[in-house]
Amino acid sequence: MLRAFYLILAVQFISTLADSAFLIVAIARVMELAAAAWLVPVLKISFTLFYVLLAPFVGPLADAFPKGRVMLASNILKVLAMILLLGGADPVVAIGIAGLGAAIYAPAKYGLITELLPARELVRANGFFEGTTVCAVIFGTVLGGLLVSPLMPRIRIPAQLQWGDLSDTVLVPGMLVLLTLHIVSTGLSVAVADSGARYDAHSIHPAQLLRQFIRENLILWRDPMGGLSMTVTTLLWGVGATLQLIVLRWAHESLGLPLAQAAYLQGVTALGVIAGAMLASRYVVLERAHRALPLGGVIGALIPVMLLVHSVAGAAALLVVVGALAGYFVVPMNALLQHRGCTLLTAGRSIAVQGFNENGGMLLMLAAYSGAIALGVPLASLVILFGIMVAAGMTFIWLQKRWSRSGSVR
């Protein structure tokens, strides 16, 4: 692996770590303000919204400039988001600014990896990258739990570092930690190497970009392996984003854990994710990535099992198993999608198409979850519904793949 790849990996880890912790801190801030419960998923929607709205434009942007510079600009936006939160801004607005930075950042980071590494290295690289990313998400959730725990208010903050109207919150120390992480990530982005890849100039007219983006979506969806991997990742990202919030609620309602400790519980999933991602990077080759499809149905079948768990130890064991299956399953699917996208389109544009579909799935799932909370749907019903959705959806995709292969043989 190139040294530049490991630098990108470090930027990705720190930035994603801070983004995940930001969500927990924002949830705590919403709870401090005694806002409606349905605003919690709205925080996640606010962060994800720009991934969908800007999808036709961030791909060409990532291809128009050196991707390291695009990563730098996106991290500056995340620093601005934390400054706004420290200044007393609405957490929904602040996390939305961070989401804007993350949306610009996504095609640049994934596209740069595709430019730097040959196709034969993509599964291995994705094993590192996705394992690092998922672990950063999980450890970031744990960090967020620490930042909203009773430990942080004991830290005395110098008066020079306090500004804005935050007299009603004890979250200032945690916000300053997140600001520091984003500043470090921004500093590292300055050193990210230029791959040297350059693409032909394209029109920047919004209507032209939108038409081009629709064509690029159709190209990737109509490709047999590209469409297969896109369907899988879109479904799993949507369900996964919602399950993150469901697990926090489940830990509180079923296990009696406060927000900080519920966030800690999610951290044990990292052990399984790391193991699954490492096994996938070692044993799964790109040409056989579709053979991992049955694992998606197993993951869906395990989701309702959480309703039978009433101890922290049992919950930890279940989350480790689910994490291992998810790590082993998602890594090859994501690598396959990136490879087909780069082959059919360009690196930046294919990642933008991927992000649009996956985050569109997340928005739909989160909006449905927010509506379910507003309507008072019980937690148990939601858990069972999501489990059935994943198991049935993945089983159908797997059977469809087998039928299509049988038809092609005949």
What predicted TM-score, i.e. pTM, was given to this entire model? 0.75
Range of the domain at 269: 3-188+206-409
Q: Is residue 296 part of a domain?
A: yes
Which pLDDT belongs to residue 14?
A: 93
95 contact partners, CB below 8 Å, separation of at least 6: 22, 23, 26, 43, 46, 47, 81, 85
Which pLDDT belongs to residue 94?
A: 93
Which pLDDT belongs to residue 409?
A: 37
Q: Is residue 94 part of a domain?
A: yes
Which pLDDT belongs to residue 93?
A: 93
Q: Is residue 177 part of a domain?
A: yes
Dist. CA 329–CA 295, nearest whole Å: 6
Q: Is residue 243 part of a domain?
A: yes
Q: Is residue 198 part of a domain?
A: no
- What is the CATH classification number for the domain harbouring 73? 1.20.1250.20
Dist. CA 63–CA 198, nearest whole Å: 7
Q: Is residue 157 part of a domain?
A: yes
Which pLDDT belongs to residue 78?
A: 93
232 contact partners, CB below 8 Å, separation of at least 6: 293, 296, 333, 394, 397
Number of separate domains in the chain: 1
Q: Is residue 197 part of a domain?
A: no
Report the chain (410 residues): mean pLDDT per 10 consecutive residues. Answer: 76 90 90 81 90 82 75 90 88 92 80 70 71 79 86 62 60 89 89 61 72 87 82 79 82 83 76 75 65 78 87 86 79 75 73 82 88 86 86 79 54
Q: Is residue 194 part of a domain?
A: no
Inter-CA distances, 301 with 103, 160, 389, 394, Å: 32, 53, 10, 11
Which pLDDT belongs to residue 216?
A: 86
Which pLDDT belongs to residue 408?
A: 43
Residue with tokens 């993150």: 244
Dist. CA 286–CA 122, nearest whole Å: 8
Report the 10 Å Cβ neighbour count for 222. Answer: 10
